[in-house]
Structure formats: structure tokens, C-alpha cells
Amino acid sequence: MGKQKLEAAFADVLARNEKAFVPYIMAGDGGLAETEKKLRFLESCGATAIELGIPFSDPVADGPTIQAAGLRAFKQGTTVKKVLDHLKAHPRQVPIILMTYFNPIFAFGMEKFADSCVEAGVAGLIIPDLPLEEEEIIAGELKKRGLALIRLAAITSPKDRLKEIAARSEGFLYAVTVTGTTGSRTSFHDNIEAYLAYLSEISPVPVLAGFGVSKPEHVRHLTNYCAGVVAGSKIIELFRQDDTEAIRELIASAKQTMADQKL
């Protein structure tokens, strides 16, 4: 079951007194053969799970870097079906989380999409434009098949709403650290430490901080207050620069965090 695989991956990392690191890449950026190379590399670097984006024409949560990656993927002819078929043909140990918007799922057919995710070995999904109030349109199909629906928490949300989001969370709770879209940042919201600490206190699943994570020092700082991080735009930028060593160092910083915090 996908959700169980994801839960086991997080439990294993935390049992080693490390922090989780989930890198994001766009499926089909450079072609699916290139995507496969990136997936293998990220797995070799010790990624806890990998978030794989599916290109969409109106990606409301994505900043310029991920939008550009999506356009490159479209030029390669990337579709939902091609991504799922590729994953089915290339099974792997690391859990794969698909990040997509609701419209491509609806167009594909919700039951067919959920079945195809199981066949492809997908562990969970992030659907950023699916509000809590409307999620039952797909949540039941995912739950029946053991797929985690990963919820996003906004730093501007009131505590009552954060409690409801946390209570429904599966796999991990994605704590958005900024106001706005994805992209590398030099700083985070002023209230970030209290926000992450609060979510970690109320969430039944690990809390991972995402949006703007681009430096090892970001990883070390944020994981003082939560179980790990998600990094996307910076990973895409570094792959474009062919700077795989910097990617390796960024992922490794999550493993060093616990040791640093004990000093």
C-alpha cells in the first residue's frame, strides 16, 4: 500500500535520528528518460521520498522556476498517462508522491487515475488547488486504494483550520513556509518557528516545511521545529546548472541536522 510505504520511509529516517528530505522535480522536464536519470540520482542521494510534478497549464501554486519546467515538459509531450506509464515501467524503492492539480485528474477520470496510481506504485498525492471543503470528491477513491492525500497548511490560516487540516493529514503534513508561490527565498515568514512548532505539536503525522527551501542552512534551521523539508525550485535550478554535487549536499544536510542540534 502506497501510504504505508510512505509512512515506513519517514519512520525509518526519524528512527535514525535524521530529518526527512523530499526533493521535487517536474516529470518530463528534458524528457522522461532524463526524468528517470534524475529520479535515480535523487534516490542514490538518500531522498526520503520524491515529489514528482505533472505539468499543468495553470499552476497557481508554482513560481517561475517550476512554471518554466512545466512548459519544457509540455514541449516534450508529457501527459498524465505517459508519467504514470513510465512509473509503472520503472518501479523503485523510494516512495513517489505525485504533485498535480485537480483538473488533470478530473479529465483523466478519478477512479481510473487512482487505479493507475496504484499500478504505477505511487505512494501519495499533493493537489494544491483542492480545498479541504471539496476534497471528498477524490479523497474516498484515494483512501480505498491506500494512497495518501497530503494536505497543505498555510501559515496565514487560523488555528482552528490548521487543527482540521492536521487531523486529516496522511503521509505527512506539508507546511507552507511563505505567503505566495514556490521559489527560492532568502528569508521566511516572521512567524515561521512558532508556526512549525505548533503544527508539529498537533499533527499526527510528520510535518515537513516547504516553499523557498534552497540552502543547507535553511534545512538546518527549519528542522529545529519540524521533521523535515521539501525543496523544489532549487533542485530544478541545480539540475539545470548540472550542479549535482550541490543537490547531494542539500539532501545530506537533513542527515546532519540531528547531530548539529545535539551539539
Are 32 and 79 a contacting pair, CB within 8 Å?
Answer: no
Q: What is the mean pLDDT of residues 93-109?
A: 97
Return d(Cα 55, Cα 12) in angstroms, integer: 31
Partners of 126 in beta bridges: 99, 150
Q: What is the pLDDT of residues 144-156, one digit of tens each?
A: 999 999 999 999 9
pLDDT, residue 259, reads 46
Judge if pTM exceeds 0.85. Answer: yes
If you average pLDDT over residues 108-120, what whole number do you get? 98
For residues 221-247, one letter each, b for 16 or more C-beta atoms within 10 angstroms of the residue's C-beta and e for the rest, the string is bbbebbbbbbbbbbbbbbbeeeeeebb
Catalytic residue among 62, 129, 237, 260: 62
Domain ranges in the chain are 2-262
Is 62 labeled as catalytic in the residue annotation? Answer: yes
Q: Cβ-count burial of 73 within 10 angstroms (0-12 exposed, 13-18 middle, 19+ buried)? A: buried
pLDDT given for residue 71 in this prediction: 95
Report the distance separating Cα 142 and Cα 127, nearest Å. 12
Of 51, 133, 164, 170, the catalytic one is 51
Q: Model confidence at 257, in pLDDT bands (50, 70, 90)? A: low
Which homologous superfamily does the CATH classification assign to the domain defined by 2-262? Answer: Aldolase class I (3.20.20.70)
